[in-house]
Amino acid sequence: MSDLDRRAFLAAGSAFGLPAVHSESWIFDPAQPGRTKNTDFAINIEMWRFGKRTRAERIRKVAELGFKFVEFWGRPSEQEIQDLRVACDETGVKITQFTGFGGWGWQGAICNPKAEDRNHTKFVEEVKSSCAVAKALNIPMMTIICGNEVPDVSLEAMHNSVIKGLKRAAPVCEDQNVMMICEPMNTRVDHRGHCFYGSEHPVKICREVDSPMCKLNWDVYHMQIMEGDLCRRLREGWDQVGYVQIADNPGRKEPGTGEIAYWRVYQELKALGYNKPVGVEANPSGPEIEAAIRLAESDNWSD
């Protein structure tokens, strides 16, 4: 390990108050920090861009760092699907999830009771199209964005419309075995005016939909901003957690740059039985290799 890598690794450890020591079964490799100690991470290749590269090229760069999973936003074209498939086959990297329905395109999306039939019909068609992409790339989950607040409509009415829309799409996802993961946002910093935030209402909504293929994309960064009490909230809503994403706060950068004791969050996820990769929807604070080293150190914990 070079002096630079060692200093970065030790600095990340001291930021958490943890000793940067390795267990006998795990040896840190500064050339491949993605081979982490406890947790598999899925790098968001919209935020880890590695310069001006295509998504397929970013997958190859992620693999060079030792990571085995990625996630991305939006639906790729037919040609890009082919390129992504080749990159995944070459590297062994798997895609955990993508944004199958953005919900930003028209007012209210599936939360608008004023245009419920039209919007829900369009939503179901979007879900069908996204399921086809998911099957083509062997992606098990897709994120659903529920939409911004509708003027002069109560939050309860918007949430009831979300429930109806999700119930209409759930049979499609059940038939295709692709999970919708609905993402609660934060409305204080990044997504002002969004109708779907925190954990209390989203958990109730998913319980009402009552489908094994409709769960939550539990982004710890958004949850920290909206309500904190991270581990207790996870336990309370655990039956509706389909996927977990992370970024530190403030700044939405990799763990080790902010206030969240992520090693404790990882411990809680393990205790709850979470067995999927954790999505890193975070902007690297510097070169990707340095962000990956800091991410590896956030996962350097023992039971």
Task: Give the span between the Cα atoms of 259 and 216, in whole angstroms.
Answer: 24
For the whole prediction, is pTM greater than 0.85?
yes
Domain locations in the chain as residue ranges: 3-260+294-298
What six digits make up the tokens of 201?
């209402």
Q: Of the candidates 172, 171, 201, 58, which has an alpha carbon nearest to the alpha carbon of residue 182?
A: 201
What six digits make up the tokens of 17?
């108050």
The alpha carbon of residue 111 and the mean position of all alpha carbons in its chain are separated, in whole angstroms, by 22
Q: How far is CA 183 from CA 80, 222, 242, in A?
A: 25, 9, 10
Out of 24-28, 67-71, 103-107, the most confident range is: 67-71
Task: Give the span between the Cα atoms of 294 and 273, in whole angstroms.
Answer: 25
Note the pLDDT of residue 272: 98
For residue range 148-183, list pLDDT tens digits in order: 999 999 999 999 999 999 999 999 999 999 999 999
Q: How far is CA 17 from CA 228, 233, 261, 301, 302, in A?
A: 20, 24, 9, 11, 13
For 225, phi then psi, to 5°, come to: -70, -40
CATH code that applies to domain 3-260+294-298: 3.20.20.150
Q: Of the candidates 114, 141, 116, 148, which has an alpha carbon nearest to the alpha carbon of residue 127?
A: 141
